[in-house]
């Protein structure tokens, strides 16, 4: 909680000013019953119209000031809480973007989404409520108690006796509520995950007529969330009824005792009227305090989840003291092994040496470790064993900016966003239209782009649903080759291309970026046939490695893949 609330520090002046205004407004409200009691006791009996009007105008003025100051303070509170939540969301989103892949796997994407949205909303609501009710309610509560003690200590004791059981009830219910709302937010994560998956796969769902199945799946997580919310709501909902019970019992006791005291001449009706007004103020204040405690349980749970992300440590530490080596290879994997969960190794004893400008092809069955190889090379994860070097330097000695500047990447399930074709290709990098057009020509995308009425200013829909799969891949390849990177990675990026376009793409890559080291991950032998080195992976291990001719002769697994796809013949 303290971690998130530290964001309020920059708004301390606005909070202090708003607090002062709120205090003055609350004092004005506290003065109203005193003025009314004075009018009933002293002014009405004097039969002075002037005094009645003046004191009446004083009550109107106090009411008006209380109203104006409350409105002003509430507007300031709304602004502060809005700016506070905005900063929290910005830092939370920024941190989410900076998290390493291991941390993202731990939190999960749906959980990060709900933390940026639902959890920040909860802390925003609490901060807003604290500035509005959290200041006013205690002042009315304590001020009302003090004034009533002065007016009639005996009646006040009746009310004070109720305060301890009220606070004990609220405290224990709040403690019980925090873990329950943590569980609720976990259920929200699950529901967001299902909605996200279904939104991404809506076309497949419709194509396979699985609407009913997905509806049932959503109903299951929705029912779980509803059950958790019901449980948490049932526990915290005890606060208001309990408060009402205590306060109503107090009112009954005060009225009964007041009647006896007035009848015995120990008090007067005017004091009782003022006292009942203060009791109403105190009751409302107590209800406000109970609402704050209920909101606190939600805020505390959400603040804890936000702080977990903000305080997450980056395990991928840059160590620039690691020694460099002089070697003729650009990329070296030295006995590298890796496991995502520490149970099953996804890559085992990988050894590879690749010279600058060479072309590496990687092929293997689904789950053989092809994409994992790429993730380790780009240091999305650190290897469990062994070292990876680029240009003689251990990749752990590169800063993130240094490392990513080496790569041009087209990964599986890469994304295009709702903007023009040219913006999607440049992707916020400084590139003129000539550079963009050159990249699309290499990627065999220029022809279909020019067929759009707007050309390179054609606007893609979200996730580029208004172009075909093959067109998407060619735009993504254009993005990857735009700056002619030192290392170009194409991870299954031509699976939607026909053989003729794929062949033209490979020819253009060889001609235009011959100085770049190209790593191609593919399921089709035709996409990697012309690579200098082809690595065949099976269950995380290198089965064989060499060029196409060598593998066709010496690697049965590779030959089987080749024959099953093309019967041994290739379309050039």
Kindly report the CATH number assigned to the domain that includes residue 98: 1.20.1560.10
Q: Which of 482, 501, 526 is the last residue of a domain?
A: 482
Q: Note whether 396 and 433 are same-domain residues.
A: no
- 286 and 192 share a domain? yes
Question: Strand 347-354 vs strand 385-390: parallel, antiparallel, or unpaired?
Answer: unpaired
What integer pLDDT is reported at residue 431 of this predicted model? 82
User: Which one of 209-218, 352-361, 510-519 scores highest in mean pLDDT?
Assistant: 352-361
Are 355 and 298 contained in the same domain? no
Strand partners, 519: 360, 489
Average pLDDT over residues 30-44: 81
Instruction: Say whether both 450 and 562 belong to one domain.
Output: no
User: What is the torsional sign of CA 135, 137, 140, 146?
Assistant: negative
pLDDT tier for residue 190 given thresholds of 50, 70 and 90: confident
Beta bridge partners of 451: none
- Among 181-190, 199-208, 379-388, 563-572, the minimum mean pLDDT is found in 563-572
* Per-residue pLDDT at 569: 45
pLDDT tens string 233-256: 888 777 778 777 877 787 787 778
Do 277 and 393 lie in a common domain? no
CATH code for position 497 = 3.40.50.300
- Domain endpoint, select from 310, 342, 360: 310
CA distances (Å), origin 349, targets 66, 119, 162, 428, 522: 75, 43, 72, 38, 21
Q: Is 531 helix (H, G, I), strand (E, B) or coil?
A: coil
Give the whole-angstrom CA distance, residue 23 versus residue 28. Answer: 9
On the question of pLDDT at 572 being above 70, the answer is no
Q: Stretch 450-459: mean pLDDT, rounded? A: 90
How many other CB atoms are found less than 10 A from the CB of residue 399? 10
Residue 274 contacts residue 35 (beta carbons within 8 Å): no
For the entire predicted model, the pTM comes to 0.75
Q: Do 198 and 343 lie in a common domain?
A: no
Segment 204-226 shows an average pLDDT of 82
Above 90 in pLDDT, residue 159? Answer: no
Burial of 144 (0-12, 13-18, 19+ CB in 10 A): buried
Q: What is the pLDDT of residue 108?
A: 84
Token couple for 75 = 């507007």
Q: How far apart are CA 353 and CA 437, in angstroms?
A: 34
Q: Tens digit of pLDDT for each residue in 314-350? A: 778 888 888 888 888 999 999 999 998 777 788 999 9
Same domain, 208 and 348: no
Cα distances from 139 to residues 146, 147, 154, 254, 291, in angstroms, run 10, 12, 21, 21, 16
Residues 434 and 501 in one domain: no
Q: Are 304 and 352 part of one and the same domain? A: no
Instruction: Specify the pLDDT at position 188.
Output: 83
Of 113-117, 298-302, 409-413, 447-451, which range is least confident?
A: 409-413
- 375 and 513, same domain (yes or no): yes
The DSSP bridge partners found for residue 394 are 389
- Do 297 and 347 lie in one domain? The reply is no
Confidence of residue 76 (pLDDT cuts 50, 70, 90): very high
Give the residue from 466, 482, 498 where a domain finishes. Answer: 482
Q: pLDDT band for position 259 (50/70/90)?
A: confident
User: Mean pLDDT of all residues in the chain?
Assistant: 85
Residues 484-492 have a mean pLDDT of: 89
What does the H/E/C string look like for 275-296? HHHHHHHHHHHHHHHHHHHHHH
Specify whether the CB–CB gap between 221 and 191 falls below 8 A: yes
Domain match, 239 and 198 both: yes
Question: Is the pLDDT at 15 greater than 80, yes or no?
Answer: yes
Counting the structural domains of the chain, the total is 3
Whether 83 shows a pLDDT value over 90: the answer reads yes
Q: What is the mean pLDDT of residues 477-482?
A: 89
Which residues constitute the domain of residue 231? 2-310
């Amino acid at each position: 909680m303290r971690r998130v609330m530290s964001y309020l520090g920059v708004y301390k002046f606005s909070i202090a000013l708003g607090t002062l205004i709120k205090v003055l407004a609350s004092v004005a409200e506290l003065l109203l019953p005193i003025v009314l009691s004075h009018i009933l006791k002293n002014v009405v009996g004097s039969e002075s119209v002037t005094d009645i009007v003046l004191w009446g105008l004083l009550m109107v003025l106090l009411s008006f000031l209380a109203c104006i100051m409350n409105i002003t303070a509430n507007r300031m509170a709304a602004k502060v809480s809005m700016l506070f939540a905005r900063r929290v969301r910005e830092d939370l989103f920024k941190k989410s973007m900076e998290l390493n892949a291991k941390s993202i796997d731990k939190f999960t994407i749906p959980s990060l989404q709900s933390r940026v949205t639902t959890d920040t909303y909860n802390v925003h609501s609490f901060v807003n409520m604290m500035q509005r009710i959290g200041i006013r309610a205690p002042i009315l509560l304590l001020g009302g108690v003090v004034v009533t003690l002065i007016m009639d200590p005996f009646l006040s004791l009746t009310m004070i006796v109720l305060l301890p059981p009220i606070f004990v009830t609220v405290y224990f219910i709040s403690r019980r509520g925090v873990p329950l709302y943590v569980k609720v937010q976990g259920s929200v994560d699950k529901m967001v995950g299902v909605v996200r998956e279904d939104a991404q796969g809506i076309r497949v769902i419709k194509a396979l007529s699985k609407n009913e199945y997905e509806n049932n799946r959503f109903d299951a997580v929705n029912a779980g969330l509803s059950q958790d919310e019901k449980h948490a709501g049932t526990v915290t909902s005890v606060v208001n009824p309990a408060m009402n019970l205590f306060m109503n019992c107090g009112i009954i006791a005060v009225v009964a005792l007041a009647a006896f005291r007035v009848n015995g001449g120990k008090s007067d009706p005017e004091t009782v009227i003022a006292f009942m007004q203060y009791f109403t103020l105190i009751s409302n204040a107590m209800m406000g305090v109970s609402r704050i405690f209920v909101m606190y349980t939600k805020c505390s749970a959400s603040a804890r989840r936000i702080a977990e992300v903000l305080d997450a440590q980056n395990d991928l530490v840059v160590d620039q003291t690691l020694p460099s080596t002089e070697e003729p290879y650009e990329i070296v994997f030295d006995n590298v092994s890796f496991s995502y969960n520490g149970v099953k190794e996804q890559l085992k004893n990988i050894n590879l040496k690749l010279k600058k400008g060479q072309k590496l092809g990687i092929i293997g069955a689904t789950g053989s470790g092809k994409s994992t190889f790429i993730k380790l090379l780009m240091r999305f994860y650190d290897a469990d064993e062994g070292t990876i070097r680029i240009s003689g330097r251990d990749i752990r000695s590169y800063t993130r900016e240094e490392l990513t500047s080496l790569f041009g990447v087209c990964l599986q399930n890469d994304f295009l966003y709702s903007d023009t074709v040219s913006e999607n290709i440049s992707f916020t990098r400084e590139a003129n239209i000539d550079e963009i057009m050159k990249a699309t020509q290499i990627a065999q995308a220029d022809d279909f782009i020019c067929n759009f009425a707007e050309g390179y200013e054609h606007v893609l829909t979200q996730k580029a649903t208004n172009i075909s799969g093959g067109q998407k891949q060619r735009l993504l390849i254009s993005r990857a080759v735009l700056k002619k990177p030192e290392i170009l990675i194409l991870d299954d990026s031509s699976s939607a291309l026909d053989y003729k376009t794929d062949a033209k793409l490979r020819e253009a890559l060889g001609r235009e970026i011959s100085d770049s080291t190209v790593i191609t991950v593919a399921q089709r032998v035709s996409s990697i046939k012309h690579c200098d080195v082809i690595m065949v992976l099976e269950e995380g291990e290198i089965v064989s490695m060499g060029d196409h001719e060598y593998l066709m002769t010496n690697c049965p697994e590779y030959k089987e893949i080749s024959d099953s796809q093309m019967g041994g013949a290739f379309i050039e």
